[in-house]
Amino acid sequence: MSNVHRDAHGRALTDYPQPSVAVDTAVLTVFDGSLRVLLAPSAEGLRLPGTFLHERERLSEAVLRSLRTKVGVSGLRPKQLQVFDDPTRDDRGWVLSVAYLDVVEASRLPVDGLFPVDDLPPLRYDHDHIVAVAVESLRAEYRSGPDPRGLVSPPFTMTALRLVHEAVLGERLQPDTFRRSVVPKLVATGDVKRDGRGRPGELYVKA
């Protein structure tokens, strides 16, 4: 006797072939003025941190677990990108990879694992493709408002905020246009930052 549910063809779930399912995460950050991705060494070259899914585990849980155990980082808000399903993408067998994006402050990441996204070394599997999708997704987020992923610790000056946006987007922004586009979504603390020459900048936090 069995509790296994059988479908209209009399087949149980496990009568269908089951792929291995992995999660692979592009951890992006801004370091030294440029957008970078965290890569991990593996037997056959660099790769994104990832893991196979555990039994009945949520995908986002697997992402956080893999970041914790493989790179010693507590991830924040994994965002699902898409499934990569090329049957030949992994030479070990039939493996689907669910790609994720997460964003972590550079200070919490190992510096020697950070590579500029515009100048990547060769990666295992289709991980270069995952990085490209993750970068485009993050850039879209940063076009929609001020520092949506919290890469700048508040309170921050307008210049600090703009420099992070420039690093993420990979392009220069006009200071005046940028200011006017974000000011309505910020609140001034009233304090100023004096740390060198020139007029001190006002400090803001997100509204």
Positions in the binding site for DNA (CB under 7 A): 157-159, 174-177, 179-181, 183, 192, 194, 196-202
For the chain, how many residues are written?
Answer: 207
Q: How near is the Cβ of 68 to a second copy at its closest, in Å?
A: 17
Residue 141: contacted member of a second copy, DNA, none (CB under 5 to 8 Å, by partner type): none
Residues that bind a second copy (CB under 8 A): 5, 7-8, 13-14, 16-21, 43, 52-59, 80, 82-83, 85-87, 91-96, 98
CB 102 within 8 A of CB 76: yes
Tell me which residue has tokens 């507590």: 74
181's contact among DNA, a second copy, none, with CB below 5 to 8 A by partner kind, is: DNA
Min dist. Cβ of residue 175 to DNA (A): 6
62's enclosing H/E stretch is: helix 59-71
53 vs 182 by CB, closer to a second copy: 53
129 to 44, 76, 147: CA distances (angstroms) = 18, 22, 24
Residue 133 binding partner per list a second copy, DNA, none, with a CB distance cut-off of 5 to 8 Å that depends on partner kind: none
Nearer to DNA, 111 or 205 (CB): 205
Sign, Cα dihedral of 81, 31, 74, 96: positive
Beta carbons of 206 and 145 less than 8 angstroms apart? no
